[in-house]
Chain A
Amino acid sequence: MRITAVNPLAAKQGLRIGQLLTDARALVSDLAVQDADPAADEKALEKLSRWCGRYTPWTTPCTEESGTDGVFLDITGCAHLFGGEQALLEDLRNRLAAWGIRARMAVADTAGAAWGAARFGRQALTVVPPRQHRDYVLPLPVSALRLEPETVEALHRMGLKTIRDLLALPRAPLVQRFGRTLARRLDQIFGKENEPINPQAPHVPYRAKQVLAEPILHTDHIAVAIGRLAQDLIRALNRDGQGARQLKLLLYRVDGYVSSLVVGTARPSNDPVHLARLFSEKLDRLASDFDAGFGIEVISLEALVTDPLPPAQLSHQTSDTSAGTRAAETPEFHQFLDRLSNRFGVAQVNFLEPRASHIPERAVAFVPAAEKQAEGGDWRARSYSEAGRPVMLLACAEPIEVIAEVPEGPPHRFQWRRVTYRVTQTTGPERIAPEWWRDKENANPRDYYCLQDEGGRRFWVYRDGFYKPDTPAPRWYMHGFFA
């Protein structure tokens, strides 16, 4: 049994990685030992790598061949968001330190140089200035090249200690003696060979993909392909008893451009026809804006969010339009809601819900139909039912010009939207005080009047505040209309 990792305290006692456990026990008699769990380490590293996505989307844990103790971040174009490379590293170090993780890190022009600098640099935080990575890595030991331990040992035996030593030698014999890997690592560290970072793709449990024999251009053809993909996807979902809540469609163009469309449903759905139609309607709406370029060659459909499908009663009745079955719970109704919500946006399809407030505009809330759960609250229980409320309410009360017989009294005549109305009858006022727990301190109480003009039209107006000496006269506002 050998030691795979030591903490700083153990390192101070002279323990090191690779040592036999018995030897270590001989050095430190009361040594605390834990079994190594490489699988858990890998998972933790992956988690850390995903977390590093806060700095850049291009993150990946080091692979097998580059040691399983690090994370690559491609911060090209991201560093300035955190105040530069140095600041980014410091931020990262501090955050890791808060979790008790000690880390060495480096920024360099190539992934290889950064790898080496992080492990063999003099400081724990290294920023290799742009285009100076060559000079920086030359004095580093050959281990900084991400090589197999055997190769490193062989190089050492030949007296090749640093990267500078390697560069001095002709390349062909080196490759012959130590294999292609050494040459490749050398190229990578100097940036002669490109080494892209493969980011971790988010986990998508359900995906259907179709590679098309010939690129397609027309939205009609795309719609047909979507229909087929939806069937494949639903088959996979049905196996697990899941229904799709959110779907993403990816269209890969021949020229490398990928366009994506997302649709959502209010309830988990496993109806491929319905889901395919949500997409084709979106495509139709894009119409002229949709650019297929030289054609779409790959189409993929992913279920981003799924929910367990409630068990459904298979009905032997066909959809019936008679009075009794017009309940809102039919699947047709929910599919209709989905199509509305996807076409106009969730916020444009609403139910009304009562809210506990005396302020008229706060007494009602627009609840997106997609989020509405059960039957709404009780509209009748509120005090306004006998006080009289208008059928229509302006979103924003509009100022009106008012002539009253007595200043405190109801209007005698008013002007709204450049039309003058003569008031014949009035009820009110109904005083509505501001909500002190929500409004500003200087909010005025409102006195609401219901006015009827000569034609019998009824208006709901209010006076904002009171007549007081030495203050400007309060404003009047039009707020609603009775039927």
Chain B
Amino acid sequence: MVSRRQIRADLQARIEAIEGHSHTLDGPENGAFSLGLPQLDERLPGQGLSAAALHEVAGADHRDMPSAFGFLLALVMRRLKALEGNGIVLWCRQSHGPHDFGWLYGPGLAAFGFVPDRLLMVTSPKPADVLWVLEEALRSRSLAAIVGEVGPALDLTATRRLQLAAEAIATPVFLLRPPHACDASAASTRWSIAAEQKPVQAWQNPRWQADLVRCRGGRPHHWFLEWDHATHCFSMAAALADRPAQPQLQDGLLQKTG
């Protein structure tokens, strides 16, 4: 007599085979990289973020796009850490793109814990060219991670192509999406990021409300995360106590340079 549990496992395996994504292949040795926080990893299929997949990160609100930038950067840094710091990260955006918060700033990246030398920045004139760059970057097989800033209009075919290419070449592709882009997408995971209040004492470490909106082979979940730029690790943050906001000027920070 076959047990119910076994039937369910069989069916699940068949569905996964149809989806072209077998979790039994995933795992630390097969491309999934740990996010450095057990509470995060255990919610993701393969005990980490799949390196052979397409991931989308969006801001919860237009004003949260810099936070989404930061979170995406943190994911990329986890990937680099899994590669022991080797490799180049391609960051492609459209000139006059949808997220006009300026370009990535080298000294700021260094303060965030990212080595700016590892960053190859490409500006393409048209939205369609961003997709071309991402696909060609995958095909060159020489990059550690690939990031593209894309606008709201992105169809299922385009994301499906990227997802398949990322699977074949085992390189993660991250898309930075505008908020509320709820069109169909073939991405493995989609994250929605909102900024969160930071205490002045730990001013350097960003805090985010990270929402895993969808996850293939996993369930949506919500975390309150803090990023440590020194150790390149996420940690669970505790919410600040409820008290009136106090604008304050820190003494002794006035420094003169130049």
When C-beta atoms are compared, the residue in chain A nearest to B139 turns out to be: A336
When C-beta atoms are compared, the residue in chain B nearest to A381 turns out to be: B110
Q: Mark A301-338, 1 if CB is under 8 A from B, else 0.
A: 00000000000000000010101101110101101110
Bound Cα distance from A429 to B109, whole angstroms: 21
Verify B73–A391 contact, CB threshold 8 A.
Answer: yes
Verify A360–B120 contact, CB threshold 8 A.
Answer: no
Question: How distant is A284 from chain B, measured CB to nearest CB, in Å?
Answer: 11
Question: How distant is B161 from chain A, measured CB to nearest CB, in Å?
Answer: 18
Interface size range of chain B in the complex: 35 or more
Query: Which one of A60-68, A186-194, A237-245, A454-462 contacts B?
Result: A454-462
B170 within 8 A of A: yes
B39 within 8 A of A: no
Verify A427–B66 contact, CB threshold 8 A.
Answer: no
B250 within 8 A of A: yes
Indicate whether A358 sits within 8 Å of B107 (C-beta atoms), given known contacts A321-B169, A323-B83, A454-B245: no
Verify B116–A352 contact, CB threshold 8 A.
Answer: yes
Verify A333–B140 contact, CB threshold 8 A.
Answer: yes
When C-beta atoms are compared, the residue in chain B nearest to A431 turns out to be: B256
A415 within 8 A of B: no
Verify A332–B102 contact, CB threshold 8 A.
Answer: no
* Residues from chain B with Cβ under 8 Å of A382 in the complex: 107
Pick the contact of B121: A350, A391, A405, A457 (CB < 8 A).
Answer: A350
Pick the contact of A480: B73, B88, B102 (CB < 8 A).
Answer: B102
- B88-123 interface (Cβ within 8 A of A): 88, 95, 101-112, 115-117, 119-123
Q: Mark A385-399, 1 if CB is under 8 A from B, else 0.
A: 101111111110000
Most buried by A among B120, B194, B206, B255: B120
Q: Mark B67-86, 1 if CB is under 8 A from A, else 0.
A: 10111011000000011101
Pick the contact of A364: B106, B120, B133, B203 (CB < 8 A).
Answer: B106
A residues contacting the other copy or chain, number (CB 8 A) = 78
Bound Cα distance from A58 to B120, whole angstroms: 44
Verify A424–B245 contact, CB threshold 8 A.
Answer: yes
B10 within 8 A of A: no
Verify B123–A380 contact, CB threshold 8 A.
Answer: no
Pick the contact of A391: B66, B122, B129, B207 (CB < 8 A).
Answer: B66
Query: Which one of A105-113, A136-144, A292-300, A432-440 contacts B?
Result: A432-440
* Residues from chain A with Cβ under 8 Å of B157 in the complex: none
B220 within 8 A of A: no
B87 within 8 A of A: yes
* Residues from chain A with Cβ under 8 Å of B248 in the complex: 425-426
A201 within 8 A of B: no
B12 within 8 A of A: no
B211 within 8 A of A: no
Verify A326–B108 contact, CB threshold 8 A.
Answer: no
A359 within 8 A of B: yes
Bound Cα distance from A454 to B246, whole angstroms: 11
A18 within 8 A of B: no
A-B pairs with beta carbons under 8 Å apart, 25 shown: A319-B141, A326-B143, A328-B87, A332-B142, A333-B88, A340-B122, A344-B123, A348-B123, A349-B122, A352-B121, A379-B107, A379-B116, A385-B107, A385-B110, A389-B110, A392-B102, A410-B247, A412-B247, A426-B249, A428-B250, A454-B245, A455-B61, A456-B195, A481-B101, A482-B70
Which residues of A are at the interface with B, using a C-beta cutoff of 8 A? Answer: 319, 321, 323-324, 326-328, 330, 332-333, 335-337, 339-340, 343-344, 348-354, 358-360, 363-364, 366, 369, 375-376, 379-380, 382-385, 387-395, 405, 409-410, 412, 419, 423-435, 445, 450, 452, 454-458, 480-483
